[in-house]
Structure 1
């Protein structure tokens, strides 16, 4: 079924650093009613940030500029561009360029490419959806490549996919090992999508997806300590979770970390090295870094 979104009004602007971007995003989220607008921030490779705000109804442009000006200054506020995003069948449009992604023994594909999966590869069917992670992003592919390397020599028994998104990493691990995997995300939509995708891939009985921030849920203690953790998130959350993650690792556990730009990798490596982990592999794929670390 086609999913057509109506034309919406959008505000876009660039900002110089992460701290300023967070201030702007926090203020906009606080000032705009939930459901009135959706705010997104994306880091560029040069270290700057692009921010976009999609509005459900026609916004008061002066008020939006005033809000941004409070958090980031008048110069940034004046550079805001307002435009209209045309109505579009987003699922159809996303599938047009969604070709199968090869990542070692794994192939991530859409429903329309089921027949293109070779018999000697493990196909994971993931449709374009609201949750992050169709396999086409360099971070997801990097995690799958490192996962393939790990599974050539080890058979971890207790596995966690932290920040699961569409569930692609949890599904890949569960199907390759034929063992249960715990998957978590802070976003309820992602948890729902991950559960649906696990069932679609015949792994619904193996993947348990829960909604939880960080390591706060009791399920982490019950299912740990973990022999393998996959965390495809972002640099800052990964650094912040180094201590609680280390507390949930089994001896000699392996950790796959991604969502990092290459210049951010050393900071993340240092955070985990301080908690007793050593770097085993640093993979750069599609302009993104993925790390394989091990508890010493």
Structure 2
């Protein structure tokens, strides 16, 4: 339900006219979210990162298979700790479909890498964890825009103040 939640959230934003120029997918795994963004935002800069080297290799292969090479930069990084991400920041949209602990740890870095009024779509968290994650992001300078629960999983859209 977490990837679906992120895709639904992005779809709603896109349908509402949101067209981010710079997108990051932090903890990208297979890069599904980065590819979804790149496929409907032909002019956007899209960067997918993961802490796991194997995930980055899989992401690069998926990007190539889907004809999006040259459209998405795949990098190995913990959070935003990569020169490619640093150079591109601040982002208009950040996806992070990872676990509660890393999401909370990333809140300050998320704030410093997200543009004013930029959006973050967070998932990988259980419904029972959503309030704690939202509170951490509120403390870091975000306002909760939308919360969408699918089964036991929650997806949050937050706006950078």
Whether the TM-score (by the shorter chain) exceeds 0.5 is: yes
- Among 233, 254, 266, the alignment partner of 2:98 is 233
> How far 1:286 sits from its partner (Å)?
3.1
For each residue in 1:152-197, what CA deviation from the matched residue of structure 2 results, as whole angstroms up to 9, or x when unmatched?
2210001000000001000000001113310000001100111111
- CA RMSD across the alignment: 0.8
> How far 1:198 sits from its partner (Å)?
0.7
- Among 153, 157, 161, the alignment partner of 1:292 is 157
For each residue in 1:112-153, what CA deviation from the matched residue of structure 2 results, as whole angstroms up to 9, or x when unmatched?
xxxxxxxxxxxxxxxxxxxxxxxxxx0000000001011122
Matched, 1:172 2:41: no
- In structure 1, what is the equivalent of residue 22 of structure 2? 158
Gap regions ≥5 residues in structure 2 = none
Between the aligned partners of 2:45 and 2:160, the Cα distance in structure 1 is 22
Gap regions ≥5 residues in structure 1 = 1-137
Between the aligned partners of 1:251 and 1:181, the Cα distance in structure 2 is 18
For each residue in 1:83-127, what CA deviation from the matched residue of structure 2 results, as whole angstroms up to 9, or x when unmatched?
xxxxxxxxxxxxxxxxxxxxxxxxxxxxxxxxxxxxxxxxxxxxx
> Which residues of 2 match residues 10-159 of structure 1 at below 5 A?
138-152=1-15, 153-159=17-23
> How far 1:263 sits from its partner (Å)?
0.6
Between the aligned partners of 2:128 and 2:90, the Cα distance in structure 1 is 31
> Which residues of 2 match residues 180-259 of structure 1 at below 5 A?
180-259=45-124
> How far 1:218 sits from its partner (Å)?
1.5
Runs of 4+ in 1 over 6 A off after TM superposition: none
Aligned length: 159
- In structure 2, what is the equivalent of residue 114 of structure 1? none
Between the aligned partners of 2:82 and 2:59, the Cα distance in structure 1 is 18
Between the aligned partners of 1:210 and 1:276, the Cα distance in structure 2 is 26
Q: Which has the higher contact order (CA 8 A, sep 6+)?
A: 2
Q: Secondary structure of 1:241's match? A: helix
Which is richer in helix? 2
Between the aligned partners of 2:152 and 2:132, the Cα distance in structure 1 is 17
Considering only CA atoms, is the larger Rg found in Structure 1 or Structure 2? Answer: 1
- Larger mean Cα displacement after TM superposition, 162-171 or 210-219: 210-219
> How far 1:200 sits from its partner (Å)?
0.9
